Amino acid sequence: MSENDTRFEIAHLARVELFSPKPQETEDFFTRFLGMYVTRRKGQSVYLRGYEDPYQWSLKITEAAQPGMGHAALRTSSPEALDRRAKSLGDTNIEGKWSEDEFGYGKTFEYQSVDGHQFALLWEAEKYVAPPELRSKILTRPSKKPLSGIPVKRIDHLNLMSSDVTATKTEFERHLGFRTTERVIDGEVEIGAWMSSNLLGHEVATMRDMTGGHGKLHHVAFYYGTGQHNIDAAEMFRDYDIQIEAGPDRHGITQGQFLYVFEPGGNRIELFGEAGFLHLDPSAETQTWQMADIDTGLAIGGAALPWETYFTYGTPSPLSLDRHIETYSHFGPGAELPTDTEVAAEPVSV
């Protein structure tokens, strides 16, 4: 198939599983502050969805010793596309397995990314049908906007920390038909890439893990669609002691409006205001940001993305968030990595 034939074989990001050492507090964060609905509980997991998520769940919170991403699943655009994408991955020695045991979804191809992130591809997804009391009068909305916190509409995108940005990017391009809309280079080295399979600026991004680790989650983003909601959410989080990392502001890269916070389990969550630049041009070139312009790329309004967290902290983390901030407080561009022996440890798997 030509590049254009594979281009729309992945439809979108359907779901993410987050691990949390504080599952009840993590659940409260997503339900009380972000208005997500619980659709099921099973064992040590709870399943949630935003009021415009189309399926039974977009977020699964599973109790675990460490925060991190359990897995992320992308929905293909057809059952045939699922078979073709799974075959493409399998043909290049990427080991995967088929499963069919997850609530609300059917046949699923599970594999590990080149950097060690757990991914899944699927087509069969059970549409959410609201009970009468939750049915919205707005026909494209599968459920009413809840009266709780500042509710997110749906899951939006993922950002992965990678030891090798180019390798991760190439895998998404080659096997899943993603297009790299924007990237950042430091000299000759790619240190960030934003990739899309549809009109959005990205469903999956990847940034270099400055600590030398691999396979970590940088953040999962949930969509508001309205910039003011990020300001309102920042006020809410400030008042209720949810740790804000950066924002609200707007990235130059993607033009997305951001607010980054840490949920109580330790995972970084982004609240996404306006969707940013939409890629309607099918033959657009990848936009390449140089380090000289990185301030505009990161935050047009000048919000500081902290080195001690934004460029170094992902989950699972060898250090707790507080210890990490302490250890990396003097880290910055060109600086040696802190010598704390724990820092070099592999991410703890759960």
Whose CB is nearest to Fe ion?
258
Of residues 77 and 159, the one with the C-beta less far from Fe ion: 159
Closest distance to Fe ion from the beta carbon of 182 (Å): 12
How long, in residues, is the chain?
Answer: 350
d(CA 56, CA 311) in angstroms, rounded, equals 33
Instruction: Indicate the residue among 102 and 263 with the shorter CB distance to Fe ion.
Output: 263
Shortest spacing between CB 130 and Fe ion, in angstroms: 29
Instruction: Provide, rounded to whole angstroms, the least separation between the CB of residue 259 and Fe ion.
Output: 9
Least CB distance from residue 220 to Fe ion, whole Å? 8
Q: How far is the CB of 157 from Fe ion (least distance, A)?
A: 6
Q: Which residues bind Fe ion (CB under 5 A)?
A: 159, 221, 258, 270
Q: Report the nearest approach of Fe ion to the CB of residue 218 (Å).
A: 8
Nearer to Fe ion, 23 or 273 (CB): 273
**Rounded to an integer, what distance in angstroms lies between the CA atom of residue 307 and that of residue 310?**
6
Judged by CB, which is closer to Fe ion: 81, or 221?
A: 221
Asked if residues 59 and 38 have their Cβ atoms less than 8 Å apart, the reply is: no
Closest to Fe ion by CB, 159 or 168: 159
Decide whether 34 or 221 has the Cβ nearer to Fe ion.
221
Give me the least distance between CB of 274 and Fe ion, in Å please: 12
Shortest CB 135 distance to Fe ion, Å: 31
Largest CA distance in the chain: 59
Q: Which residues contact 314 (CB under 8 A, 6 or more apart)?
A: 161, 209, 213, 216, 217, 218, 268, 347
Q: How far is the CB of 273 from Fe ion (least distance, A)?
A: 10
What's the per-residue H, E or C state across the chain? CCHHHHCCCEEEEEEEEEEECCHHHHHHHHHHHCCCEEEEEECCEEEEECCCCCECCCEEEEECCCCEEEEEEEEECCHHHHHHHHHHHHCCCCCEEEECCCCCECCEEEEECCCCCEEEEECCECECCCCHHHCCCCCCCCCCCCCCCCCCCEEEEEEEEECCHHHHHHHHHHHHCCEEEEEEEECCEEEEEEEECCCCCCCEEEEECCCCCCCEEEEEEEECCCHHHHHHHHHHHHHCCCEEEEEEEECCCCCCEEEEEECCCCCEEEEECCCCCCCCCCCCCCEEEEHHHHHHHHCCCCCCCCCCCCCCCCECCCCCHHHHHHHCCCCCCCCCCCCCHHHHCCCCCC
- Whose Cβ is closer to Fe ion: residue 17's or residue 110's? 17
Give the nearer residue to Fe ion in terms of CB position, either 191 or 343. Answer: 191
Identity of the residue, 19 or 223, whose beta carbon is nearer to Fe ion in the bound complex: 223
